[in-house]
Structure 1
């Protein structure tokens, strides 16, 4: 059965942390794969102060059925107190890719 693809976006404080978390999520079959992007500059307010940091964006790919477990596990593995974990459904996806993705996560 093919499940609907879901994308989860987050940022990490280091490329190494991003790699380790992605590896764990793949090994635990909570995501099928991920894209780690080049470091970027992030600006935000935290505890009343303006911050500007170098962060490492990652796009995780999972399924609708696995998304909640993937998001919860990501939050426990993440080093940030309050990580940005943003999720959306990719309803318009290539059927062959969606099938492959579902097979990677199937238990």
Structure 2
């Protein structure tokens, strides 16, 4: 089973929890961590600084497109970050946890 971490950022904890709960309810993710971060980026040729929530979504790699669709449908940003990072190594027990808790 191939696994990955999908990352996205949200404007606030409410939006982050909404997206997390949707993904968990649909069994598209086994675990989602929400962290507080500060982001600096260029948008419309301007330097922006925002406090955001980072979601680290642990899942099977095959779920990426479905997760991407759910994030786009439930996100307030015009261009949400949606990236996938392959998990090369994980304990057998953690692989089993992801496998048992996702479609």
Aligned-partner SS, 1:65: helix
Whether 1:19 and 2:17 are equivalent positions in the alignment is yes
Alignment length (residue pairs): 103
RMSD: 1.2
**Alpha-carbon distance between aligned partners in 2 of 1:73 and 1:5, rounded to the nearest angstrom:** 18
2:4 aligned residue: 6
- TM-score of the aligned structures, taking structure 2 as reference length: 0.92
1:71 aligned residue: 68
CA-CA distance at 1:91 after TM superposition? 2.2
Please say which of residues 71-80 and 57-66 is displaced more in the overlay. 71-80
Structure 1 stretches of 4+ with a deviation exceeding 3 A read: none
Q: How does 1:1-107 map to 2 (within 5 A)?
A: 3-37=1-35, 39-106=36-103
CA-CA distance at 1:30 after TM superposition? 1.0
Aligned-partner SS, 1:81: coil
Please say which of residues 16-25 and 97-106 is displaced more in the overlay. 97-106
CA-CA distance at 1:80 after TM superposition? 0.6
- TM-score of the aligned structures, taking structure 1 as reference length: 0.89
Unpaired stretches in structure 1, ≥5 consecutive residues: none
